[in-house]
Amino acid sequence: MANLKVDTVSGIGTEGPVLNGGLKFRSKNYLTLPKGTTAERTATSSGISTVIGAIRYNTDSNKMECYVNNKWMIVSTSSPNLDGGGRGVAAGGTNPAAIDTIEFITIPTQGNSIDFGNLTATRQSQPGGTGSSTRGVIGGGQDGGSPTTLNIIEFITFSSTGNASDFGDLTAARRQPAVTGSQTRGIFSGGGPSTVNTIDFITIASTGNAVDFGDLSVARKGAGAASSPTRSLIVGGVSSPTDLNTIDYVTTSTLGNAQDFGDTTQARYNLGVVSSSTRAVIMGGYLSSPAGGVNTIEHVTIATRGNAMDFGDLTEAIYSAQHVSDSIRGVRMGGVTGLDTTMDYVNIATTGNAVFFGSLLGKHQEGAGCSNAHGGL
């Protein structure tokens, strides 16, 4: 990357100088930075040493970086998005019959949900959801008629309320999959009704059918899932008749089988997981014996394999809820309990009990949750 020294910038307001295909003065009062992969950010390129204070955009991590103290550092902010913050969506489920409704919240702002649109058809039995910063995807579950287990994937555009559209198909029909992903890739793991160990993936920006990724360490359904920009966790679940406390992980960008990460403090299924770029928070779930929901919250550090630790408690024992998050806050939306229109939240970085967030327009249990800001997006 060439060095640029500017004493007088006369090009602001017009298309100005370009450095290495990257730095541009744009006509709409902003500046685009040089960008490239992690491999392209080496300390020395073409014999030119990187200058302290150099700044760039990393296309692998989708983060801004600055060169400080002879190493590259992520440029982070605690400010909300300028468009009002991350959106979280609850889609489908039962109320008590199967529903096709989609509702959304603005995660940084406590309050009640707002109507978003409708799925292409009613969908229950825990379809799974994930998303990039622009697009949400919902896959699997069971229709509200026959009922038939589904392989259908559909998508929404987070910034525009409206109905979902067809995306493609999973490699096989399944309900209760564990779904998460990165900015570019969605990961669908396990599912039922007969438990499977299959992991599928999609490229979120490109509609089309899912492709085989690898296998879980054990077949399971009703697991939870969350991710950092590089690693996806699959947590708990049931491998009939046994409730599981195992946590698997995969490197989201690399096809292959899941590896052991650690264990939760309590074996359970139909639980939820939210995450920032560094921490996953595990919420609620269902125990086979003694039968019932739990209010347990645990956490793990995503980059470091190990067992989960106590975080706090939900406002009530709950399972089969929808879960969404941004980099700061994780929200539980609805679920199976006595008060399944309620939502509560935690601050992901700070252990403690959940706090009331607001109310859904209607009951959502056994539906899908997805957001445009989870896992460090």
Per-residue confidence (pLDDT) for residue 339, from 0 to 100: 65
Per-residue confidence (pLDDT) for residue 316, from 0 to 100: 92
* Measured distance CA(270)–CA(238) in Å, rounded: 8
Name the most confidently modeled range: 2-6, 33-37, 79-83: 33-37
What DSSP string runs through 319-330? BS-EEEE-SSEE
Residue with the larger pLDDT of the pair 3 and 133: 133
Residue with the larger pLDDT of the pair 22 and 260: 260
Per-residue confidence (pLDDT) for residue 17, from 0 to 100: 40
Per-residue confidence (pLDDT) for residue 84, from 0 to 100: 43
pLDDT-derived band at 166 (thresholds 50, 70, 90) equals very high
**Model pTM greater than 0.75?**
yes
Instruction: Specify the pairing of strand 35-36 against strand 55-58.
Output: parallel
Structure token pair of residue 335: 């679920």
Per-residue confidence (pLDDT) for residue 122, from 0 to 100: 94
Average pLDDT over residues 343-365: 96
Q: Which domains does the chain have, with CATH numbers?
A: 1-76 (no CATH), 87-376 (2.120.10.80)
Per-residue confidence (pLDDT) for residue 200, from 0 to 100: 98
pLDDT-derived band at 240 (thresholds 50, 70, 90) equals confident
On the question of pLDDT at 14 being above 60, the answer is no
Structure token pair of residue 306: 């190990």
Q: pLDDT tens across 247-284, in order?
A: 999 999 999 999 999 999 999 999 999 999 999 999 99
Q: pLDDT tens across 41-97, in order?
A: 765 444 556 678 888 888 777 678 888 878 888 776 544 444 446 999 999 999 889
For 235, other C-beta atoms within 10 Å of its C-beta total 32
pLDDT-derived band at 26 (thresholds 50, 70, 90) equals low
Per-residue confidence (pLDDT) for residue 72, from 0 to 100: 83
* Measured distance CA(47)–CA(98) in Å, rounded: 63
Structure token pair of residue 35: 């960008």
